Amino acid sequence: MWRFDAGRICLDLVATERAGGVPGTCEQLDGPGHLAQWLTDARLVPAGTVLDALDGTWVARFRELRSDVSRLMAAQLGGSPAEGALERVNSLASGAPPGPRAVRGADGDLVRALSAAPDCAGLLAVVARDAVDLLTDPVARAALRRCQGEHCHRLYLDTSRGGRRRWCSGEVCGNRERVARHRRRTSGTTATNDPGEPGVFDPGKEIPPGVE
């Protein structure tokens, strides 16, 4: 349901929001269960961590942080200043994140655990600190981009050579654009061959990255 390829965890959080005016986007953190899964998949808590205290209040607070980070990143890309959002993110970043520990797993290998049961404030602090790090790092800040995919709103860090990356993911939005471009180029032509024959475009297949 979600991806972790934006380059920063704070941007991955922003990607879970429903974007107004962007078809196909939806609220991904729509309850405690999905937030618990996101926290685990984002590796903010180790797999198997019991989050007994996680409730609707956590969901609301993570959504508020997400909105503030989204506004701050939009401001970096030329939007309106978001001073109130900056103050709130700074305040959350001052909290103490959960401390990590190395413990023996069932097979004897060392695995990551937390020194205490994580609370909402500590986990919010992890994401807020990541946002502060991004905003105060000139190199990372200059690499901030918004995907140019027609139906995408994702933010990402462009670490490509030359800084010319256009999409949040070449395999997702990039491939969609290549498919759409191919369809536009072949529109008006009639294929009488079987779609599986060589040289005939099959709309159900992806266009390889090298095909323009």
Region of poorest pLDDT, from 17-21, 36-40, 81-85, 170-174 = 170-174
**What's the mean per-residue pLDDT of the chain?**
84
101 in the same domain as 19 = yes
Cα(187)–Cα(127) distance, integer angstroms: 46
pLDDT at 90 over 50: yes
202 in the same domain as 100 = no
Look up the CATH number of the domain holding residue 87.
1.10.3300.10
User: Which of 6, 2, 17, 42 lies closest to 147 in space, CA to CA?
Assistant: 6
Cα(112)–Cα(133) distance, integer angstroms: 23
Confidence of residue 80 (pLDDT cuts 50, 70, 90): confident
Write the single-letter amino acid at 38: W
From the number of C-beta atoms within 10 Å of its C-beta (0-12, 13-18, 19+), residue 36 rates as middle
Confidence of residue 190 (pLDDT cuts 50, 70, 90): very low
Q: Check residue 1 and give its pLDDT.
A: 67
Task: Read off the pLDDT of each residue in 34-51 and give the average, rounded to a whole number.
Answer: 95
Cα(193)–Cα(198) distance, integer angstroms: 9
Confidence of residue 82 (pLDDT cuts 50, 70, 90): confident
Report pTM. 0.79
174 in the same domain as 149 = no
Confidence of residue 10 (pLDDT cuts 50, 70, 90): very high
pLDDT, one tens digit per residue, over 96-121 is 999 999 999 999 999 999 999 999 99
Residue 1 belongs to a domain: no
Residue 208 belongs to a domain: yes
Confidence of residue 203 (pLDDT cuts 50, 70, 90): very low
Residue 198 belongs to a domain: yes
Residue 52 belongs to a domain: yes
Q: Which residues of 81-211 form beta strands (DSSP E)?
A: 100-104, 110-114, 144-146, 155-157
Residue 185 belongs to a domain: yes
89 in the same domain as 68 = yes
pLDDT at 206 over 50: no
133 in the same domain as 49 = yes
Task: Read off the pLDDT of each residue in 190-194 and give the average, rounded to a whole number.
Answer: 44
pLDDT at 140 over 80: yes
Residues 6+ apart with CB under 8 A from 157: 6, 7, 8, 11, 134, 140, 143, 144, 145
41 in the same domain as 27 = yes
Write the single-letter amino acid at 106: A
Cα(98)–Cα(53) distance, integer angstroms: 15
83 in the same domain as 59 = yes
Residue 138's region, left for phi above 0, alpha for psi from -120 to 50, else beta, is: alpha
Residue 183's domain spans which residues? 169-212
User: β-pairing, 155-157 with 144-146?
Assistant: antiparallel
Q: Check residue 166 and give its pLDDT.
A: 76
Report how many domains make up the chain: 2
